[in-house]
Amino acid sequence: MLEALKAYDLEGLPISWTRFGSGHINETWLVVTGRPHLYILQKVNHFVFPDTEGLMRNIIRVTQHIRKKEPDPRRVLQLVPCRDGSLYQKLGDETWRMYEYITDSLCLDSAETDDDFRQSGVAFGTFQRQLADFPAEELVEVIPGFHDTPGRYRALKRAIEEDRAGRVQSCRAEIDFYLSREKTAGMMTGLLQKGELPLRVTLNDTKLNNVMLDAETRTPLCVIDLDTVMPGLAANDFGDAIRFGASTAAEDEKDLSKVHLSLPLYRAFAEGFLSACGESLTPLERATLPDGARLMTLECGVRFLTDYLEGDRYFHISRPEHNLDRTRTQMTLAREMEEREGDMRSIIEAI
CB 99, CB 77: distance < 8 Å: yes
d(CA 108, CA 100): 19
The three-class DSSP label of residue 268 is helix
Which run of H or E residues covers position 341? helix 341-350
For the stretch 215-267, pLDDT in tens is 999 999 999 999 999 999 999 999 999 999 999 999 999 999 999 999 999 99
For the stretch 267-286, pLDDT in tens is 999 999 999 999 999 999 99
Q: What is the mean pLDDT of residues 68-86?
A: 95
Q: 316 or 256, which is more confident? A: 256
Measured over the CA atoms of residue 149, residue 134, residue 265 and residue 218, the dihedral's sign is: positive
d(CA 25, CA 228): 12
pTM, rounded to two decimals? 0.94
Please report, to the nearest 10 degrees, the dihedral formed by the alpha carbons of residues 158, 159, 161, 164 taken in order. Answer: 140
d(CA 71, CA 125): 18
Q: What is the mean pLDDT of residues 181-209?
A: 95
CB 222, CB 123: distance < 8 Å: yes
Mean pLDDT, the chain, rounded, equals 96
For residue 23, the model assigns a pLDDT of 73
**Residue 27 corresponds to which amino acid?**
E
Is residue 182 scored above 80 in pLDDT?
Answer: yes
**Residue 74 corresponds to which amino acid?**
R
Distances (CA, A) of 125 to 44, 67, 71, 94, 326: 26, 16, 18, 33, 28
Domains of the chain, start order:
2-103 (3.30.200.20), 114-350 (3.90.1200.10)
Q: What is the mean pLDDT of residues 68-94?
A: 95
For the stretch 16-34, pLDDT in tens is 999 998 777 899 999 999 9
Is residue 292 scored above 90 in pLDDT?
Answer: yes
For residue 199, the model assigns a pLDDT of 97
For residue 1, the model assigns a pLDDT of 79
For residue 350, the model assigns a pLDDT of 97
For residue 21, the model assigns a pLDDT of 81
Report the chain's terminal Cα–Cα distance, integer Å: 48
For residue 284, the model assigns a pLDDT of 98
Which run of H or E residues covers position 201? strand 200-202
Is residue 71 scored above 90 in pLDDT?
Answer: no
CB 44, CB 55: distance < 8 Å: yes
Beta-carbon count within 10 A of 291 CB: 21
The three-class DSSP label of residue 41 is strand
**Residue 38 corresponds to which amino acid?**
L
For the stretch 93-133, pLDDT in tens is 999 999 999 999 999 988 899 999 999 999 999 999 999 99
Contacts of residue 11, defined as CB under 8 A and 6 or more positions apart, other chains included, come to 33, 35, 37
Calculate Rg over the CA atoms of the chain. 21
d(CA 325, CA 308): 10
For residue 24, the model assigns a pLDDT of 72
